[in-house]
Chain A
Amino acid sequence: MAFESLANRLQATFDRLRGKGKVTEDDVNEMMREVRLALLEADVNFKVVKEFIAKVKERAIGQEVLKSLTPGQQVIKVVNDELTQLMGGEQSKIALASKAPTVVMMVGLQGAGKTTTTGKLAKYLQKQNRRPLLVACDIYRPAAIKQLQVLGEQLKVPVFSLGDQVSPVEIANQAIEQAKAEHNDYVLIDTAGRLHIDEKLMDELKDIRATVNPHEILLVVDAMTGQDAVNVAESFNQQLELSGVVLTKLDGDTRGGAALSVKAVTGKPIKFAGMGEKMDALEPFHPERMASRILGMGDVLTLIEKAQANVDQDKAKELERKMRKAEFTFEDFLEQMAQVRKLGPLDDLLGMLPGMNKVKGMKDLKVDEKALNRVEAIVKSMTKEEKQNPELLKTTSRKRRIAHGSGTSIQEVNRFIKQFEEMRKMMKQFTKMTDQAKKKKGKGLFGKFPFMQ
């Protein structure tokens, strides 16, 4: 899909404005049109977009943007701020009843991923030393019960089922009795997918709710849902009073505007996000990341924050000095690698960089974490002197020893040393470039992370 990122689009507008010296209200309107399109393309509901644009415009036309020297960046900041605020900053915590068991009910449309999410949630609770009981209340879809049972088996979590001939209300009720008897502290009720306008089936959910008094009713929403997400969420919320939302399939390439729509109309927090096929791929939801994703700005803000939080500033400065003077050694390399890896898996980091998915060949780039481990092993197999003085590594016996020590081959060691030398050369050039650029702008992010180019 030829989504042009909002940042790029706004940039084009700003470039035209640059010579003007002053930004007028018309200019802001033009920018707002771009923002509007970006949000609509991301599947944010048009009503939500309308309100949102009005709000941003007010702030933009007010002092904040017009008087700023960098109106473009200011607009992005305002948009991002408002979006993050709208997404809510609540901690995704799952309810805990004062008296066990805590009852959680999963509801949603067909195919949203309720059963899978129920399994993932069980795993999540298991990790916190809870003892969940899964309840198979989807008596309609063929083999839905079997699906939950298989998941239960995988996770070693008990599954309560009465087959598909007993009413879901009765199943839920008996399940809670069993949970009490067996001392399960969480009861996760998987219900059948249904359309929010299907009165009969919605009544069934209301009956379950009235019978078991759940502490948590989670609406499971497919992140790829389009404009209809609003109606679905609104209707489920009105009829059942949701306590939260789980957004599934967020590991796809959708912008996920549905998240914003759902949050805006229900006011209920998005508590979790499904991020993959595996059972442990359920993550707490990060509103601020979602904001940037919807706008197509990458996660650059998160990345900056992450970097600031995790990278030791003094060390970074020292590294920078070394890089400039091309004194970069294997020891520094190890240091740098550790710093970068502290930020999380490299795949994720690369994905956060805006424009990265556009760079040719970068889209499907997978960073091989294992290869990184091998590189680390090679460096760690060097002597102290070798680490500080890469020149020593010209002799074969040293290389052989390193290969032996790191469990790699001489070829691999050679290849790495060559790459390292190239990197040093590149750093030299790069610092020259940044020195020139520095006159115009501040030091770019890349100054800190030579690995990410």
Chain B
Amino acid sequence: MSFFKKLKEKISQKTDAVTAKFKDGLTKTRDVFVGRVDDLLHRYKKIDESFFEELEEILISADVGVSTVMELVDGLRSEVKKQKIEDPQQLKPLLSEKLVGLFHNQQLQSGLNIEEGRLNVIMFVGVNGVGKTTTIGKMAHMLKQQGKKVVLAAGDTFRAGAIEQLEVWGQRVGVEVIKHQAGADPAAVIYDAISAARSRGADILLCDTAGRLQNKVNLMEELNKVYRVISREVPDAPHETLLVLDATTGQNAMSQAKAFGEVTKVSGIVLTKLDGTAKGGIVIAIAGELNTPVKYVGLGEKMDDLQPFDPEQFVHALFAGLMEEYDEGNSLDNP
């Protein structure tokens, strides 16, 4: 059975609704990315250096990391030499497999580390303006739908209006927000939030933090302090530290993942703003170069637009066009 058929079957077992949502959210990505790869494969009669260069450009334009791209294309180059492939059409299965292969480094577990019967603490970190507070709002909604008792901690005491923003989300979703005044010590807010969450018998505490650029030493220290307070107060906590990344971010995403990973042991990534414009290539880069799984993606502005990330679904949504054609091509070749 072909690789894609296996993938397809796996996916058809999953609920259609989620896949549809995923597909819709990624329409733009798919159109641009797959469309251009396809166009490239059709346009070239022969595989030559400029073909590879153009392929490099397509991948890079989707924000797939430069080094990942170079590795992938170099791999293709040597395959082409070895198998003496000349027709670009023949390259298609090889290319698709290589692209999909990038995701295999990705750990497949995408759910959150949440256990019954304990207070689960989830910390959100990231640079300014990636959508941490919005993601917390969406996640609170999601968890509440699952019947969990959720408490939010307004740990962004720095940015003007951040506490109010979280409060609005708290009202919308119907969960309690623990807060101090603006300018308060974020570690103290989190400390209070933990005891509040405990006394209310909450299942999950979502901790907001202020956005900070990863090269600001003092601010990263502050974040580390929050992290230490959590792990001191609750054994094994934070059970998840989610790095929120803006999907439109370029190569700097790597630097963010590394720096935040150092001070807070990031356990997963939430990729926001993946709808519409974003190309999401950075997902490939992250999968290829870091060992942190992408756990959720933000696909829109509505409350329920946070979706669990499933690498297989993502690949399917992204390469749907390629795969279908590939299958057709296959059936023509092997009747």
Contact of A40 among B66, B167, B301 (CB under 8 A): B66
For residue A59, which residues in chain B have a CB less than 8 angstroms away from its CB?
none
Asked whether A111 lies within 8 Å of B165 as measured between CB atoms, the reply is no
Contact of A142 among B169, B217, B252 (CB under 8 A): B169
Return A193 CB to nearest CB of chain B, in Å: 9
* C-alpha gap A42/B250 in the complex (Å): 8
Which residue of chain B has the shortest Cβ distance to A365 in the bound complex? B217
For residue A231, which residues in chain B have a CB less than 8 angstroms away from its CB?
277
User: Per-position contact with A for B263-286: 1 when CB-CB < 8 Å, else 0?
Assistant: 000000000010111110110000
Say which one of A10-18, A20-28, A195-203, A415-423 lies at the interface with B: A195-203
CB contact list, A247-263 vs B, under 8 A = 249, 251-255, 257-258
Asked whether B251 lies within 8 Å of A144 as measured between CB atoms, the reply is no
Q: Is A226 an interface residue when CB atoms closer than 8 A count as contact?
A: yes
Category for how many chain A residues contact B? 35 or more
Which residue of chain B has the shortest Cβ distance to A142 in the bound complex? B168
Asked whether A228 lies within 8 Å of B63 as measured between CB atoms, the reply is yes
Return B131 CB to nearest CB of chain A, in Å: 6
Asked whether B258 lies within 8 Å of A226 as measured between CB atoms, the reply is no
User: Per-position contact with B for A346-366: 1 when CB-CB < 8 Å, else 0?
Assistant: 000000000000000000101
Return A151 CB to nearest CB of chain B, in Å: 5
Asked whether B250 lies within 8 Å of A43 as measured between CB atoms, the reply is yes
Asked whether B250 lies within 8 Å of A257 as measured between CB atoms, the reply is yes
Asked whether A141 lies within 8 Å of B165 as measured between CB atoms, the reply is yes
* C-alpha gap A1/B61 in the complex (Å): 19
Asked whether A150 lies within 8 Å of B282 as measured between CB atoms, the reply is no
Which residue of chain B has the shortest Cβ distance to A256 in the bound complex? B252
Q: With A43-B252, A222-B246 as given contacts, are A227 and B128 in contact (CB-CB < 8 Å)?
A: no
Say which one of B74-82, B154-162, B234-242 lies at the interface with A: B154-162
Contact of A225 among B160, B168, B248 (CB under 8 A): B248
Q: With A150-B160, A195-B277 as given contacts, are A224 and B60 in contact (CB-CB < 8 Å)?
A: no
For residue B158, which residues in chain A have a CB less than 8 angstroms away from its CB?
277
For residue B161, which residues in chain A have a CB less than 8 angstroms away from its CB?
115, 143-150
CB contact list, A87-116 vs B, under 8 A = 109-113, 115-116
Contact of B246 among A111, A115, A146, A366 (CB under 8 A): A111
Q: Is A70 an interface residue when CB atoms closer than 8 A count as contact?
A: no
Q: Is B120 an interface residue when CB atoms closer than 8 A count as contact?
A: no
CB contact list, B110-129 vs A, under 8 A = 127-129
Asked whether A251 lies within 8 Å of B213 as measured between CB atoms, the reply is yes
* C-alpha gap A147/B282 in the complex (Å): 30
Asked whether A227 lies within 8 Å of B168 as measured between CB atoms, the reply is no
Q: Is A124 an interface residue when CB atoms closer than 8 A count as contact?
A: no
CB contact list, B131-188 vs A, under 8 A = 131, 137, 158-162, 164-165, 167-169, 172, 182
* C-alpha gap A226/B158 in the complex (Å): 27
CB contact list, A1-54 vs B, under 8 A = 1, 37, 40-43, 45-46, 50
Asked whether A109 lies within 8 Å of B127 as measured between CB atoms, the reply is no
Q: Is B313 an interface residue when CB atoms closer than 8 A count as contact?
A: no
Asked whether B164 lies within 8 Å of A252 as measured between CB atoms, the reply is no
User: Per-position contact with B for A108-147: 1 when CB-CB < 8 Å, else 0?
Assistant: 0111110110010000000000000000000011111111
Q: With A143-B164, A226-B282, A364-B217 as given contacts, are A109 and B248 in contact (CB-CB < 8 Å)?
A: yes
Asked whether B251 lies within 8 Å of A226 as measured between CB atoms, the reply is yes
Asked whether A110 lies within 8 Å of B129 as measured between CB atoms, the reply is yes
Q: How many A-B residue pairs have CB under 8 A?
A: 147
Q: What's the tally of chain B residues with a CB closer than 8 Å to chain A?
A: 49
Asked whether B250 lies within 8 Å of A226 as measured between CB atoms, the reply is yes
Return A260 CB to nearest CB of chain B, in Å: 12
Return B103 CB to nearest CB of chain A, in Å: 19
CB contact list, A196-249 vs B, under 8 A = 196-198, 222, 224-229, 231-232, 249
Which residue of chain B has the shortest Cβ distance to A254 in the bound complex? B252
User: Per-position contact with B for A407-431: 1 when CB-CB < 8 Å, else 0?
Assistant: 0000000000000000000000000
* C-alpha gap A226/B246 in the complex (Å): 10
* C-alpha gap A198/B255 in the complex (Å): 30
Q: Is B57 an interface residue when CB atoms closer than 8 A count as contact?
A: yes
Contact of A226 among B165, B168, B182, B248 (CB under 8 A): B248
* C-alpha gap A253/B206 in the complex (Å): 28
For residue A313, which residues in chain B have a CB less than 8 angstroms away from its CB?
none
Q: With A1-B258, A228-B63 as given contacts, are A111 and B130 in contact (CB-CB < 8 Å)?
A: yes
Asked whether A228 lies within 8 Å of B279 as measured between CB atoms, the reply is yes
For residue B169, which residues in chain A have a CB less than 8 angstroms away from its CB?
142
For residue B172, which residues in chain A have a CB less than 8 angstroms away from its CB?
142
Q: With A45-B61, A253-B255 as given contacts, are A225 and B250 in contact (CB-CB < 8 Å)?
A: yes
Asked whether A111 lies within 8 Å of B276 as measured between CB atoms, the reply is no
* C-alpha gap A196/B250 in the complex (Å): 18
For residue A40, which residues in chain B have a CB less than 8 angstroms away from its CB?
60, 66
Which residue of chain B has the shortest Cβ distance to A150 in the bound complex? B160
* C-alpha gap A159/B168 in the complex (Å): 21
Asked whether B246 lies within 8 Å of A227 as measured between CB atoms, the reply is no
Contact of B254 among A1, A111, A113 (CB under 8 A): A1
Asked whether B276 lies within 8 Å of A195 as measured between CB atoms, the reply is yes
* C-alpha gap A197/B278 in the complex (Å): 11
Asked whether A253 lies within 8 Å of B273 as measured between CB atoms, the reply is no
Return A246 CB to nearest CB of chain B, in Å: 13
Determine which residue in A144, A196, A197, A253 has the highest number of CB atoms from chain B within 10 A of its CB, and name it: A253
Return B182 CB to nearest CB of chain A, in Å: 7
Which residue of chain B has the shortest Cβ distance to A33 in the bound complex? B53
Asked whether A253 lies within 8 Å of B215 as measured between CB atoms, the reply is yes
Asked whether B129 lies within 8 Å of A143 as measured between CB atoms, the reply is no
Q: Is B214 an interface residue when CB atoms closer than 8 A count as contact?
A: yes
Determine which residue in A140, A143, A144, A253 has the highest number of CB atoms from chain B within 10 A of its CB, and name it: A143
Determine which residue in A1, A37, A112, A116 has the highest number of CB atoms from chain B within 10 A of its CB, and name it: A1
Contact of B255 among A1, A146, A154 (CB under 8 A): A1
For residue A222, which residues in chain B have a CB less than 8 angstroms away from its CB?
129, 246, 248-249
Return A104 CB to nearest CB of chain B, in Å: 20
Asked whether B248 lies within 8 Å of A228 as measured between CB atoms, the reply is yes
Q: Give residues in B with beta carbon < 8 Å to A.
A: 28, 57, 60-63, 66, 127-131, 137, 158-162, 164-165, 167-169, 172, 182, 213-217, 246, 248-255, 258, 273, 275-279, 281-282, 301
Known: A142-B169, A143-B165. 15 other contacts (CB 8 A): A42-B251, A111-B129, A112-B129, A140-B301, A143-B162, A148-B160, A150-B161, A195-B277, A222-B249, A224-B127, A224-B250, A226-B63, A226-B251, A258-B250, A277-B158
Q: Give residues in A with beta carbon < 8 Å to B.
A: 1, 37, 40-43, 45-46, 50, 109-113, 115-116, 119, 140-151, 154, 195-198, 222, 224-229, 231-232, 249, 251-255, 257-258, 277, 364, 366
16 contacts between A and B (CB under 8 A): A1-B251, A42-B251, A43-B251, A45-B61, A110-B129, A111-B273, A113-B129, A142-B137, A143-B167, A146-B165, A149-B161, A197-B277, A224-B249, A232-B277, A253-B214, A364-B217
